[in-house]
Amino acid sequence: MTTIPVALGARSYEVAIAAGALDEAGTRLAAYAPRGRLIVVTDETVAAAWLPAFAAALDAAAIAHLPIVLPPGEASKSWAVLETLVDRLLDLGVERSDHVVALGGGVIGDLVGFACSIVKRGCGFVQVPTTLLAQVDSSVGGKTAINTRAGKNLVGSFHQPAHVLIDPLVLETLPPRELAAGYAEVVKYGLIDDALFFDWLEANGGALLAGDIRLRAHAIAHSVAAKARIVAADERETAGVRALLNLGHTFGHALEAETGFSNRLLHGEAVACGMALAFRFSAERGLCDPADAERVARHLAAAGLPTTMAAAGVEAGGDVLVAHMAHDKKRTGGRLPFLLARGIGGTFVASDVDLGDVVAFLDAERAACPTA
């Protein structure tokens, strides 16, 4: 078992990672079930694959479990499903001292975290993430949200979990496309400030994606440690540190918006393409060696991820994409911060980017690699 602390004073918690951890969930989560029961929120897909094993582990520790099973997919991060969830939690008599379990991917984690931040003015929750994306990113750090008419993740809160329990074995049932999308977020940590980790991923990424459990556990622990460091330094994204986690997200957000935040382009796929674009844009501005940009794109493409707008299925021109970016919540004070790179492991926040340059860059990208 690898245990990684997230140091946030009174809101500190641990992330525990071990192959087989799900089977020990009863003993590992007993401290969060003082009334001898746990409400477990999950989605239908995860329920079919993993709820029986999770429930059996709670049974073995004599912890009663009350499941709430929601529809899978991004559409569940909505006012309507939030209302359903909050009503169900209240019907089950949730108390502030309870810890609700979020068993699922980033959708369940974000939704349950938000519900727990408002129900009874805030109750506890525990993350048991079941996608690679959720294991290396969304389950740690306390960002919670739902989507609204105005856009994605625009209503939410910072509400830290009390504990995160990660079992890499649950990834066995994850579709390869979802696995690759989560892998983009793993690569992100190498690109932000850890060139040695990127080297390691180049050497081991193929075997990791093919199913090597030891490599998966190592990459998850390394990623969680990176995220924990960043969150501890800048919990509310006000000090310019946590913003580094948005590498690839400004370009990626525009691609997601253009594809309707749908299965046409998964979040991690958009981030992968966004990171490749951010590196090529950095190279074009003379900030980074073009060879680094090529290396990044080669590694992401080898993982089956899109690295051009054409591969992401986006035909829009630069002006349309920049308009999507300007609509993004990460805009502050009328300016759009961009995450650019001086090389692999050398990401920084640039606030002096001329949006006209971005439009021209994206138009040139489109011309260089037209959609079929």
**Residues in contact with ligand NAD by the rule CB under 6 A:** 43, 45-46, 49, 72-74, 77, 104-108, 110, 130-131, 133-134, 137-138, 141, 143, 153, 170, 173-174, 178, 267
Residue 343 contacts which entry, ligand GLY, ligand NAD, none (Cβ below 5-8 A, type-dependent): none
When asked if residue 242 is in the footprint of ligand GLY (CB under 6 A), the reply is yes
Query: Per-residue x/- mask for ligand GLY, residues 86 to 125, rule CB under 6 A?
Result: ----------------------------------------
- What's the angle, vertex CA 244, arms to CA 163 and CA 274, rounded to 5? 110
Q: Which residue's CB is nearer to ligand GLY, number 45 or number 160?
A: 160
Residue 28 contacts which entry, ligand GLY, ligand NAD, none (Cβ below 5-8 A, type-dependent): none
CA 208 vs CA 4, 130, 297, 303: distances in Å? 21, 16, 18, 10
Q: How far is CA 27 from the centre of its chain?
A: 27
Identity of the amino acid at 12:
S
Q: How far apart are the first and last CA of the chain?
A: 48
In angstroms, the CA 232 to CA 107 distance is 23
Residue 49 contacts which entry, ligand GLY, ligand NAD, none (Cβ below 5-8 A, type-dependent): ligand NAD
3-state secondary structure of 76: helix
Q: Which residue's CB is nearer to ligand NAD, number 131 or number 343?
A: 131
Residue 173 contacts which entry, ligand GLY, ligand NAD, none (Cβ below 5-8 A, type-dependent): ligand NAD
Q: Which residue's CB is nearer to ligand NAD, number 123 or number 134?
A: 134
Q: How far is the CB of 284 from ligand NAD (least distance, A)?
A: 28
In sequence order, what are the beta bridge partners of 4? 15
Token pair for residue 293? 């940009």
- Pick from 43, 98, 110, 137: which binds ligand GLY (CB under 6 A)? 137
Q: What secondary structure letter does DSSP report for 362?
A: H
Token pair for residue 35? 């009334």
Half-sphere exposure (CA, 13 Å, Cβ side) for 225?
Answer: 14
Binding site for ligand GLY (CB under 6 A): 137, 141, 143, 242, 245
